[in-house]
Amino acid sequence: MRPPSSVREFEAAARARLDPAHYDYFAGGAGEEVTLRANEAAFGRLALLPRVLGGAAKPELGVTLLGDRAAAPVLVAPTAFHRLAHPEGEKATARAAAAAETIMIVSMASTVAVGDVAAAAPGARLWFQLYVQPDPAFTELLVRRAEEAGCGALVVTADSPVRGRRDRDERHGFHDLPTGLCCENMRDETGRVRPIEFSPAISWEHVDRLRDMTSLPIVLKGVLHPADARRALGHGVSALIVSNHGGRQLDTVPAAVEALPGVVEAVAGTVPVLLDGGVRRGTDVLKAMALGASAVGVGRPVVWGLAADGERGVRRVLDLLRAEVEDALTLCGARSVHDLGADLVLRPC
Ligand SMILES: Cc1cc2nc3c(=O)[nH]c(=O)nc-3n(C[C@H](O)[C@H](O)[C@H](O)COP(=O)(O)O)c2cc1C
Ligand SMILES: O=C(O)C(=O)c1ccccc1
């Protein structure tokens, strides 16, 4: 059968293969799913205003983020539970990311331990995503595991003091991983798996404690308000990810790309600003970068690739997006992803 030729087709292929409860877990969002829909719709409302006669035979797509090189400005955003999508889970995803020469942010809720992900994918550039745990000693254990696995950054998720309320999961009664799967990073020293806990009182002090605990760069994920972006700069944060968690946490917050310009203006070039949420096409990547993002992350598109065809599916999703970015750059008369400015995007009034 012909392989899918767009992220959209990968989603259809994944849906056909997945248990409906698992598809809905991956696809769904919080509340009325207003923000979930807004993330994609907002990209659709932005028009590209291309330049002509300015392209290069081989446009430059590569970016360097916190010292890690990516061949294209499209990273793997952290998503939980990859073994629900494919038996090889995060190992397959990491191998595909390594082959595509991009960075994978491994979720703390991965179903393969981060050290085993690293061992399975030599050459992969991994960052580790952390939910601060109420037990500081366990948080520290997780940080050490990320360091030992060779991760290049610690991505601290700030938008989830509690879990978002997701009606699709309620409807299916989906609350736990099936027998045989677990969050492997959550084993304590005795090998027992702890549940992931949320930290409703997570604060800037937790970021300070992490800053003292590790020399890894800290990336703050889930920032939408310009004042928080500015504040993060005083807490030793090396990069920000503008994100609403793919519409899965607080519903009715703005689309990620709508929140981006305010954050970019607030940090004024002091640290890289990344974005995730609703990126499905190369043109979306260009729009985010024109508005000041240094790179973007893709969450669900990677899961769809994994569910549809394992490592090969993820590789194809990443390759498709890369090829789309390359064509869109050329069609916009740009020689490099570093040359894009806000004049490339017409914002609706
Ligand atoms: C199934 C699923 C699981 C996720 N798990 C995590 C997670 O463990 N940690 C985290 O910080 N973000 C998590 N996210 C949010 C993603 O990192 C990212 O913000 C979001 O998926 C981006 O939107 P997109 O799916 O439209 O690309 C998850 C998202 C999805 C869809
Ligand atoms: O589902 C999610 O979006 C998510 O972030 C998460 C958090 C904890 C455990 C598993 C997934």
Q: Indicate whether 349 pLDDT > 80.
A: no
User: Residues forming the annotated binding site for glyoxylate?
Assistant: 25, 131, 166, 245, 248
Supply 236's token pair. 């030793």
Domain hosting 215: range is 7-47+71-334
**H-type alpha helices, the chain:** 7-17, 20-27, 34-45, 82-85, 89-99, 114-120, 136-148, 167-172, 204-213, 226-233, 256-267, 282-290, 300-331
Q: Is 177 in the pocket of ligand 2 (CB under 6 A)?
A: no
Residue 299 CA to ligand 1 centre (angstroms): 5
The answer to the question of residue 341 being in a domain is no
Residue 233 CA to ligand 2 centre (angstroms): 26
The answer to the question of residue 261 being in a domain is yes
Supply 347's token pair. 């914002």
Model pLDDT for residues 32-44, shown as the tens digit of each residue: 999 999 999 999 9
The answer to the question of residue 58 being in a domain is no
Q: Name which residue sits closest to atom 2 of ligand 2, judged by CA.
A: 80
Residue 185 sits in a domain whose CATH number is: 3.20.20.70
CA-based end-to-end distance of the chain: 44
Model pLDDT for residues 183-221, shown as the tens digit of each residue: 999 999 999 999 999 999 999 999 999 999 999 999 999
pLDDT at 6: 98
CA 32 from centre of chain: 22
Q: Indicate whether 148 pLDDT > 90.
A: yes
> Which residues touch 258 (CB under 8 Å, ≥6 apart)?
38, 42
pLDDT at 300: 99
Cα distance between residue 296 and residue 274, in whole Å: 5
Interface confidence, given as ipTM, is 0.99
Single pTM value for the model: 0.98
Pocket test for ligand 1, best of 245, 275, 300 (most atoms within 8 A of CB): 245
Into how many domains does the chain fold?
A: 1
The answer to the question of residue 55 being in a domain is no
The answer to the question of residue 194 being in a domain is yes
The answer to the question of residue 60 being in a domain is no
Strands 47-48 and 345-346, by their bridges, are antiparallel
Closest ligand 2 atom, CA of 249? 3
pLDDT at 295: 99
Q: Indicate whether 1 pLDDT > 80.
A: no
> Which residues touch 331 (CB under 8 Å, ≥6 apart)?
50, 55
Q: What are the CA-CA distances from residue 25 to residues 18, 21, 56, 165, 277 (Å)?
A: 10, 6, 42, 12, 16
Instruction: Find where tokens 């430059």 sit.
Output: 60
Reported confidence tier of residue 276, pLDDT bands at 50, 70, 90: very high
The answer to the question of residue 235 being in a domain is yes
State percent of the chain over pLDDT 90. Answer: 98
Q: What is the mean pLDDT of residues 90-97?
A: 99
Q: Which ligand does the CA of 288 lie closest to?
A: 1
The answer to the question of residue 145 being in a domain is yes
Reported confidence tier of residue 24, pLDDT bands at 50, 70, 90: very high
Q: Is 241 in the pocket of ligand 1 (CB under 6 A)?
A: no
pLDDT at 272: 98
Averaged confidence pLDDT in the chain: 98
CB burial of residue 115 (10 Å; 0-12, 13-18, 19+) = middle
Cα distance between residue 174 and residue 212, in whole Å: 37
- Transcribe 260-323 into DSSP letters: HHHHHHHHTTSS-EEEESS--SHHHHHHHHHTT-SEEEESHHHHHHHHHHHHHHHHHHHHHHHH
Q: Indicate whether 55 pLDDT > 90.
A: no
Model pLDDT for residues 309-348, shown as the tens digit of each residue: 999 999 999 999 999 999 999 999 999 999 999 999 998 7
